[in-house]
């Protein structure tokens, strides 16, 4: 006998159905990019990442010393970024809380991400938490200063990763707003991430691309043959 849907399962299934139906309708005036961008700028993470970018750009120009590796490094980072995004999503954001004796092992990033799955339309929860982002930026500054043989190459790294960070935050934010996809490329990215939230949290881990690292790591199934997960809204809870 077929097991009845739980309330969370029914809600997730209905959300996917509405999303697909919305895509099939003619485009209507709704949330525009200008309004979406205005809301985006009301949150700390775009400003923190943008500040790092604004500082890195003139410093990179002043330092000069341009070499062929300054073109190669961003190309490599672009190729690797989907896999990096996948690993962070799986290993950090979907971390299952543990204990080491009396010490809980559970990062702010993982806790906030679980809350984000509970309420994917809660806008503040979409963004990287401020305290965690400050730690990440400090770590990136340390990598910039000490991990490269040339100051210029280190600044190229910082410039590239801050651009990627802004693209990630904007894409992730926009997916969770009421802005509807108007082009095939963004539509694929939009659908991919919404399947992760409303269909099954064990698949579709990339955010800024679709069918890249998920294909590589075997987490890009056919949505029509993938069961709706009862824990997509409550990560790590019992089904």
Bridge partners (DSSP) of residue 99 are 104
Angstrom distance (rounded) from CA 116 to CA 162: 23
Angstrom distance (rounded) from CA 190 to CA 181: 7
Name every residue whose Cβ is closer than 8 Å to that of residue 213 and which is 6 or more positions away in sequence: 82, 83, 85, 86, 205, 206
Least confident residue range of 14-23, 133-142, 157-166, 220-229 = 14-23
2: pLDDT strictly greater than 80? no
Interval 6-16: pLDDT, tens: 555 566 566 65
Q: Measured on CA atoms in the order 129, 131, 136, 137, is the torsion positive or negative?
A: positive
Residue 216's SS3 state is: helix
Q: Where are the alpha helices (DSSP H) in 25-180?
A: 33-40, 44-63, 69-87, 108-118, 130-146, 151-175
User: Which of 137, 126, 209 lies closest to 169, judged by CA?
Assistant: 126
236: pLDDT strictly greater than 80? yes
Cβ count within 10 A of residue 225: 6
Per-residue pLDDT, 114: 97
Cβ atoms of 112 and 125 within 8 Å: the answer is: yes
113: pLDDT strictly greater than 70? yes
Six token digits for residue 207: 């955010």
Per-residue pLDDT, 22: 52
Angstrom distance (rounded) from CA 78 to CA 136: 19
């Amino acid at each position: 006998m077929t097991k009845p849907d739980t309330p969370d399962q029914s809600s997730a299934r209905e959300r996917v159905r509405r999303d697909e139906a919305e895509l099939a309708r003619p485009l209507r005036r709704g949330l525009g990019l200008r309004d979406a961008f205005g809301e985006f700028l009301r949150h700390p993470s775009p400003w923190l990442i943008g500040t790092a970018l604004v500082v890195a750009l003139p410093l990179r120009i002043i330092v000069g010393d341009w070499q062929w590796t300054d073109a190669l490094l961003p190309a490599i980072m672009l190729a690797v970024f989907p896999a990096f995004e996948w690993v962070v999503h799986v290993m950090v954001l979907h971390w299952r809380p543990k204990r080491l004796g009396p010490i809980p092992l559970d990062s702010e990033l993982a806790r906030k991400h679980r809350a984000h799955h509970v309420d994917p339309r809660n806008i503040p929860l979409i963004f990287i938490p401020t305290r965690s982002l400050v730690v990440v930026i400090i770590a990136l500054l340390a990598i910039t200063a000490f991990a490269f043989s040339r100051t210029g190459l280190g600044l190229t790294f910082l410039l590239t990763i801050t651009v990627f960070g802004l693209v990630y935050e904007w894409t992730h934010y926009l997916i969770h707003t009421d802005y509807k996809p108007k082009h095939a490329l963004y539509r694929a990215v939009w659908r991919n991430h919404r399947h992760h939230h409303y269909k099954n949290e064990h698949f579709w881990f990339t955010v800024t691309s679709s069918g890249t690292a998920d294909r590589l790591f075997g987490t890009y199934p056919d949505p029509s043959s993938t069961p709706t997960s009862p824990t997509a809204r409550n990560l790590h809870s019992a089904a």
